[in-house]
């Protein structure tokens, strides 16, 4: 089992910044690759950014590349998503997920464990 808890969401104006955190706990075998996804009302959960267990593979969706940065501190089992130059289209509930496989995947269905999510709202 793995447990994920996200925090750091909020409301900002376009061009603003937020940093999301995701703290993971549980059996180490259940915590492999980690990723951030987001879901807006009426839309499917979509990949935002993520990294493999080793950290050697990092990927971003093209819509956030250059604006978002994903980092991981294994000492405290925390993953971060630094978001700059936020746009109204970034408005969504953001979730972190992990899978018990070390390779990164961009498909939500391949993640077994999820947090409760944190809301990000960007206004014009």
Q: What is the predicted pLDDT for the residue at 86? A: 98
Instruction: Tell me how far apart the terminal alpha carbons of the chain are, to the nearest angstrom.
Output: 40
Q: What is the predicted pLDDT for the residue at 93? A: 98
Q: What is the predicted pLDDT for the residue at 28? A: 81
Q: What is the predicted pLDDT for the residue at 17? A: 98
Distances (CA, A) of 48 to 1, 28, 29, 75, 76: 24, 24, 24, 23, 22
Sheet holding 68-73, edge to edge: 2-7, 18-26, 78-83, 68-73
Over the chain (124 residues), what is each successive 10-residue block's mean pLDDT? 96 98 89 95 97 94 98 88 98 96 96 97 97
Q: What is the predicted pLDDT for the residue at 79? A: 94
Q: What is the predicted pLDDT for the residue at 49? A: 98
Q: What is the predicted pLDDT for the residue at 89? A: 97
Q: What is the predicted pLDDT for the residue at 63? A: 98
Q: What is the predicted pLDDT for the residue at 26? A: 87
Q: 3-state class of 1 per DSSP?
A: coil
């Amino acid at each position: 089992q793995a447990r994920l808890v996200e925090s750091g969401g909020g409301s900002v104006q376009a061009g603003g910044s937020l940093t999301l955190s995701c703290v993971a706990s549980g059996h180490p075998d259940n915590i492999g690759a980690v990723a951030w996804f987001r879901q807006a009302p009426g839309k499917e959960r979509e990949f935002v950014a993520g990294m493999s267990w080793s950290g050697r593979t990092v990927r971003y969706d093209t819509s956030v590349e250059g604006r978002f940065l994903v980092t991981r501190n294994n000492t405290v089992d925390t993953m971060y998503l630094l978001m700059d130059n936020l746009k109204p289209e970034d408005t969504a509930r953001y979730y972190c997920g992990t899978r018990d496989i070390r390779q990164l995947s961009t498909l939500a269905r391949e993640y077994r464990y999820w947090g409760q999510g944190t809301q990000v709202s960007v206004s014009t």
